[in-house]
């Protein structure tokens, strides 16, 4: 049996994963794979270790991890493959595949064009009421976002 794990970055905002849950449901429908789970690299869980374990417990012989990431940055190149290789040692009987990230696709450009159209009627940024950052505390043991200044 195959399982699909849709892996997102993660957020400390409760409920931020609702859209991922919707995607997982649509993925079940489109692929015919009944065991589709959502997990996150950091912040609010579930995380990869517990999700892989759940898939194996539910009978998965192959787990395809699809990273819901746009670009081939450090998480795609190093962090996720390293984590998956560690997990693969724990489950030698299970084939674990690190699938492709979203990357470039003409469909992405079409979605962006739709978002441009949908954004035409939105207000000026000065009119947006921004929630208080204190409503979204950093989970214990995790650091705050650190801005990286680009090289000139």
User: Catalytic site residues?
Assistant: 9
Beta bridge partners of 38: 6
- On whether the CB atoms of residues 17 and 40 are closer than 8 A, the answer is yes
Q: How many residues can be counted in the chain?
A: 152
First and final C-alpha spacing in the chain: 50
Is residue 32 left, alpha or beta, with left meaning phi > 0 and alpha meaning psi from -120 to 50?
left
| CB atoms near residue 101 (< 10 Å) | 18
């Amino acid at each position: 049996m195959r399982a699909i794990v849709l892996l997102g970055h993660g957020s400390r905002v409760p409920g931020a994963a609702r859209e991922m849950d919707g995607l997982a449901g649509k993925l079940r429908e489109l692929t015919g794979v009944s065991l589709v789970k959502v997990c996150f690299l950091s912040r609010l869980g579930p995380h990869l270790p517990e999700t892989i374990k759940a898939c194996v417990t539910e009978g998965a012989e192959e787990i395809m991890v699809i990273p819901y990431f746009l670009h081939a940055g450090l998480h795609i190149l190093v962090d996720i493959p390293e984590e998956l290789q560690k997990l693969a040692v724990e489950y030698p009987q299970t084939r674990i595949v690190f699938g492709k990230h979203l990357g470039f696709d003409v469909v992405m450009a079409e979605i962006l064009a739709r978002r441009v159209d949908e954004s035409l009627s939105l207000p000026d940024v000065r009119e947006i009421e921004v929630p208080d950052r204190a409503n979204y505390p950093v989970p214990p043991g995790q650091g705050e976002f650190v801005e990286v200044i680009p090289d000139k």
